[in-house]
């Protein structure tokens, strides 16, 4: 019986070896990659041809047969020479052996034997650990789920291998419960719902990977969110700024991004050469280099430096919905949650040292309000700190890091945040509080972030004139509430399964005349609703009323308004509420009052 989390991790790792044994029986020429335990299961990478998901059931059955026979895992330390002999026909293992040798790390193998036999049926390069008693793994507690492509070592310059994924839990009941969650998650998949409701479109071949185009309903959802965002910021004492999509390489060198973050930035654009000269290989006489911005902060800093600042102006709170561009590996892109071009709801607060804690608390309150308004109540907070053993990864001095980390933790405690401290996860310029939303599967998604920066003010030589008439260095806070519109919308789609609350829904009401005879009256109702800023569509398609109702329900439109001769005579509409059925007949003024009240309340459930 698997009792502890550690036991389950060992079992998952052991199952990856059993998978490798069964897979190699089916595909003897397959070359071995790696096979670790992962969250909720395990995987193994193979260099193989012609494997398909149709093979998984047979391989899974063979795994059960092997476990039923009884398997034993034995660890053995070997020399580099012995390891090379063992894995003479395994190029990927040989590569790993060579790396371990160069790093002067111990090399160990695990030998798998069947009960009653001394000769191993499988030997793998592995540090372990593995399960002690294979019988502790219930035969129904694991399942192979899918094949996927995976670059060797996660590097797209390397060969694409075949990755076989499996799930594994302590009991069959836990596995069954998780499979039900997966089924529900598939129904809520934002890519699937986004296509069905025509919210967004990604065209990888012509437009490019990880670049999102918003269709009319998706663009309307974005606009509703952005309008709410702007109003909340103006009310919260922020001012709005706008900045370019590209900036001189000098800007990014000064900010430190080019030195610490260039792996995630696109290569410089050379300006000063005409297209014709470029075709002919001619070089520019005066060459300028520009970079697509991965962040907005250096621009905001430059705006601050455009004038002499007084302590009377502080704190300065500047907000911008700015689109940024970051190079993400193609294998890591995923719908709206991982893209290459995205819009951050960014803001930077520049303040004096004695204002820092109050400003941090204001932002924490803002984040809580945003999450609550949009219906997210299950989230975790992480306090990301500098790695004290690897300070070269970070800019700034020890004194600055001590102060900023201390005050961030004080704020987390005083605001009663349920936070976890993580060393080594800070941004290169300062510590941060990350707010991660949990989805239906318990996966965490980074959204809101509050980052402390004492480096950019230093790098750009920011100052203000204090109350004694002397120059003083300000502090700077970076913060985003949605994180990015793209990811936040993706999570919203899945959270509500596409059935958005009325205030967020791209289309709030659909008007369905029973026949063309009621079309004029239906248009009058539509105009009356639009006059009150209610988003409405008139559906007079040449289809039966029943089909039009079903289509509106499939589109998750909150209110369906039906008009026939009876409604014209009584000056009403017949109202249906999505998920609740018939509401009854209402006059246009009463309906508008009802919808307006519901929109203002921003009910999220």
Active-site residue identified among 10, 317, 326, 487: 326
Give the CATH number of the domain where residue 530 resides.
Answer: 3.40.50.800
Residues 6+ apart with CB under 8 A from 399: none
Q: Is residue 351 part of a domain?
A: yes
Reply yes or no on whether 432 is catalytic.
yes
Backbone Cα Rg of the chain: 29
How confident is residue 7, by pLDDT bands cut at 50, 70 and 90?
Answer: confident
Give the CATH number of the domain where residue 166 resides.
Answer: 3.30.980.10
* Cα-based torsion angle of the residue sequence 22, 28, 30, 32 in order, rounded to the nearest 10 degrees: 60
pLDDT, greater one: 3 or 318? 318
Give the CATH number of the domain where residue 424 resides.
Answer: 3.30.930.10
Reply yes or no on whether 348 is catalytic.
yes
Give the CA distances from residue 263 to residues 143, 326, 517, in Å, rounded to whole numbers and listed in that order. 37, 9, 63
Say if residue 448's pLDDT is above 60.
yes
Domain of residue 139, residue span: 5-188
Q: Is residue 140 part of a domain?
A: yes
Active-site residue identified among 12, 13, 163, 348: 348
Reply yes or no on whether 344 is catalytic.
yes
pLDDT average, residue stretch 78-84: 95
Q: Is residue 200 part of a domain?
A: no
Considering the domain architecture, whether residues 86 and 20 belong to the same structural domain is answered as: yes
Considering the domain architecture, whether residues 431 and 516 belong to the same structural domain is answered as: no
Considering the domain architecture, whether residues 449 and 370 belong to the same structural domain is answered as: yes
Question: Residue 305: what pLDDT?
Answer: 95
Active-site residue identified among 344, 355, 405, 451: 344
Considering the domain architecture, whether residues 485 and 534 belong to the same structural domain is answered as: no
What does the pLDDT look like over 255-313, one tens digit per residue?
888 877 788 888 888 776 666 666 666 665 557 889 999 999 999 999 999 999 999 99
Say if residue 604's pLDDT is above 80.
no
Buried b (16+ CB within 10 A) or exposed e, 38-61: eebbbbbbbbbeebeeebbeebbe
What does the pLDDT look like over 83-128, one tens digit per residue?
999 999 999 999 999 999 999 999 999 999 998 888 999 999 999 8
Reply yes or no on whether 478 is catalytic.
yes
Considering the domain architecture, whether residues 147 and 224 belong to the same structural domain is answered as: no
Considering the domain architecture, whether residues 173 and 45 belong to the same structural domain is answered as: yes
Q: Which of 495, 530, 546 is the last residue of a domain?
A: 495
Q: Is residue 573 part of a domain?
A: yes
- What total of structural domains would you count in the chain? 3
Active-site residue identified among 17, 432, 548, 576: 432
Reply yes or no on whether 447 is catalytic.
no
Q: Is residue 464 part of a domain?
A: yes
Name the packing angle between helices 5-26 and 56-69 (round to 10°). Answer: 120
CB 77 within 8 A of CB 54: no
Considering the domain architecture, whether residues 528 and 569 belong to the same structural domain is answered as: yes
Considering the domain architecture, whether residues 90 and 184 belong to the same structural domain is answered as: yes
Q: What is the DSSP string of 542-584?
A: SS-HHHHHHHHHHTT-SEEEEE-HHHHHHTEEEEEETTTEEEE
Walk across the sheet containing 107-114 and list its strands.
Answer: 71-78, 107-114, 122-125
Q: Is residue 531 part of a domain?
A: yes
Considering the domain architecture, whether residues 327 and 369 belong to the same structural domain is answered as: yes
CA distance 33 to 153: 9
Considering the domain architecture, whether residues 477 and 596 belong to the same structural domain is answered as: no
Considering the domain architecture, whether residues 471 and 531 belong to the same structural domain is answered as: no
Reply yes or no on whether 215 is catalytic.
no
Active-site residue identified among 345, 346, 439, 453: 346
Residues 6+ apart with CB under 8 A from 140: 172, 175
Active-site residue identified among 17, 190, 362, 478: 478
- Written in H, E and C, the secondary structure of 105-158 is CCEEEEEEEECCCCCCCEEEECCCCCCCCHHHCCCCCEEEEEEEEEEHHHCCCC
Considering the domain architecture, whether residues 418 and 484 belong to the same structural domain is answered as: yes
């Amino acid at each position: 019986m698997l009792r502890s989390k550690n036991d389950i991790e060992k079992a998952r790792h052991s199952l990856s070896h059993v998978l490798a044994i069964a897979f190699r029986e089916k595909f003897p020429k397959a070359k071995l990659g790696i096979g670790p335990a992962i969250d909720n299961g395990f995987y193994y990478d193979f260099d193989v041809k012609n494997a398909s998901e149709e093979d998984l059931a047979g391989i899974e059955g063979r795994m059960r047969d092997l476990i039923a026979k009884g398997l034993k895992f034995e660890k053995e330390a070997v020399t580099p020479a012995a390891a090379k002999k063992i894995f003479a026909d395994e190029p990927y293992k040989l590569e790993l052996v060579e790396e371990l040798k160069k790093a002067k790390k111990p090399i160990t193998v695990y030998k798998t034997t069947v009960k009653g036999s001394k000769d191993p049926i499988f030997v793998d390069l592995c540090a372990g650990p593995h399960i002690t008693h294979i019988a502790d793994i219930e035969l129904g507690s694991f399942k192979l789920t899918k094949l996927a492509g995976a670059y060797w070592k996660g590097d797209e310059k390397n060969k694409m291998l075949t990755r076989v994924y499996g799930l594994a839990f302590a009991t069959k009941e836990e596995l069954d419960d998780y499979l039900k969650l997966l089924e529900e998650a598939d129904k809520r998949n934002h890519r699937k719902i986004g296509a069905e409701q025509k919210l967004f479109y990604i065209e990888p071949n012509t437009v490019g990977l990880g670049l999102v185009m918003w269709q009319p309903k998706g663009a309307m959802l974005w606009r509703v969110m952005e309008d709410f965002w702007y109003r909340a910021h103006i009310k919260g004492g922020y001012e709005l700024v706008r900045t370019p999509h590209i900036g001189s390489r000098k800007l990014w060198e000064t900010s430190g991004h080019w030195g610490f973050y260039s792996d995630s930035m696109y290569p410089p654009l050379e300006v000063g050469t005409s297209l014709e000269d470029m075709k002919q290989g001619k070089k520019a006489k005066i060459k300028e280099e520009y970079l697509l911005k991965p962040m907005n902060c250096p621009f905001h800093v430059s705006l601050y430096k455009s004038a002499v600042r007084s302590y009377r102006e502080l704190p300065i709170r500047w907000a911008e919905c700015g689109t940024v561009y970051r190079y993400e590996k193609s294998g890591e892109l995923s719908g709206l949650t991982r893209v290459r071009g995205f819009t951050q709801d960014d803001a930077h607060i520049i303040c004096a040292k004695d204002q820092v804690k109050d400003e941090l608390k204001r932002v924490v309150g803002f984040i809580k309000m945003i999450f609550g308004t949009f219906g997210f109540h299950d989230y975790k907070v992480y306090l990301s700190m500098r790695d004290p053993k690897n300070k070269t990864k970070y800019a700034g001095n020890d004194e600055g890091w001590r102060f900023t980390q201390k005050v961030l933790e004080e704020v987390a405690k005083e605001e009663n945040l349920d936070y976890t401290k993580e060393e080594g996860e800070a941004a290169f310029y300062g510590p941060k509080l990350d707010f991660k939303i949990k989805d239906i599967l318990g996966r965490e998604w980074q959204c809101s972030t509050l980052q402390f920066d004492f480096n950019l003010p230093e790098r750009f030589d920011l100052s203000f004139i204090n109350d004694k008439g002397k120059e003083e260095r300000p502090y700077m806070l970076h913060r985003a509430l949605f994180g990015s519109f793209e990811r936040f919308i993706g999570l919203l789609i899945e959270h509500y399964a596409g059935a958005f609350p009325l205030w967020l829904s791209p289309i709030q009401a659909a008007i369905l005349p029973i026949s063309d005879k009621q079309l004029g009256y239906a248009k009058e109702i539509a105009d009356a609703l639009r006059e009150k800023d209610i988003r409405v569509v008139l559906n007079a398609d040449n289809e039966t009323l029943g089909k039009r109702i079903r289509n509106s329900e499939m589109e998750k439109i909150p209110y369906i308004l039906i008009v026939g001769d009876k409604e014209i005579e009584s000056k009403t509409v017949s109202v249906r509420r999505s998920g609740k059925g018939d509401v009854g007949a209402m006059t246009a003024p009463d309906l508008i009052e009802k919808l307006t009240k519901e929109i203002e309340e921003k009910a999220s459930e």
